[in-house]
Amino acid sequence: MADQEDNPVTPFQYIPTKQGPPVRKKRDVPDGLWMRCTACEAMLYQKAVEENLGVCPQCDAHFRVGAAKRIQQLTDPDTFEELFADIAPDDPLEFVWKGQTYAERIKREQAKTGNTEAVLTGVGYIKGRRVALGAMDGEFLMASMGSVVGEKITLLIEHATEHRLPLVIVCTSGGARMHEGVLSVVQMGKTSAALGQLHEVGGLYISVLVDPTTAGVLASFASLADIIIAEPGALIGFTGPRVLANTIKTELPEGFQRAEFQVAHGFVDRIVPRHELRSEIARLIDYCYR
């Protein structure tokens, strides 16, 4: 048998070993090419998932997507104009958690997402219909609502009221931002009051609930819409099911707090798959404004 140096190993050649059966030398696979579906556990080509709007091609599970990607999926090409981008977060409490200041954490989240805060707001067109559009970013501190998120949402609502535009907000959140204390909690009342003014002038507000939409966001502007639609399988509830189950010491119904459960109990108006969101929002605007 020739020496190994005379017979170099190819990526898929079996290499004899001194003990046990032959082993196969694996070729390195670049990171980010493949992903596993958390629902059906299928191995998926990541580019194919992205081309499918972040939906599993095998089982139609809806994966989470960031705010910029969400706006790209919903709006007509090159029509979105961001508003209130210059509003930046502060550190009023000089909050420190696990040796890291709130200011340091914000900088890390900004570098990770490319966004100043956990919501993007602006105006754009959805199938030719001009709308005031907000999209929360679950990749930014789990889209927790701090003072900047509340301010940008409020300003967007006021812009829709002043310019008589349909308002669409894609909602997702893990709740109030503890780093800002009560300044975060009061955003619930502020956004709700702004929506009250929108309703008084007959404005249309469509809320899109995606996975997960919980706590203070759900208890304020996310649930005060004229029409509430949700993506399939989205977790929607004030407190997570595990916390509730441990608190009340009882078994919860199957599918509790998922979008399908909320539709069956009248909290959500309808479930709309991601591929149909653009068309459904445009249809609802036409129906309500004709």
Q: What is the pLDDT of residue 7?
A: 47
Where are the domains positioned within the chain?
A: 13-63, 64-289
Residue range 64-289, CATH number = 3.90.226.10
Amino acid 41: pLDDT? 87
Cβ neighbour number for residue 156 with a 10 Å cutoff: 27
Q: How far apart are CA 15 and CA 1, in angstroms?
A: 13
Give CA separation, 54 vs 35, 38, 59, 206, in Å.
12, 13, 12, 22
Ranges under pLDDT 70 in the chain: 1-32, 290
pLDDT score at 27:
53
pLDDT computed for residue 124 by the predictor? 98
What is the crossing angle of helices 67-74 and 277-289, to 10°?
Answer: 60
- For residue 224, CA distances in Å to 28, 207, 258 come to 51, 8, 19
The pLDDT assigned to 17 comes to: 46
Q: What is the pLDDT, as a whole number, of residue 239?
A: 80
pLDDT at 28: 55
Per-residue pLDDT at 254: 80
Q: What residues are paired with 200 via a beta bridge?
A: none
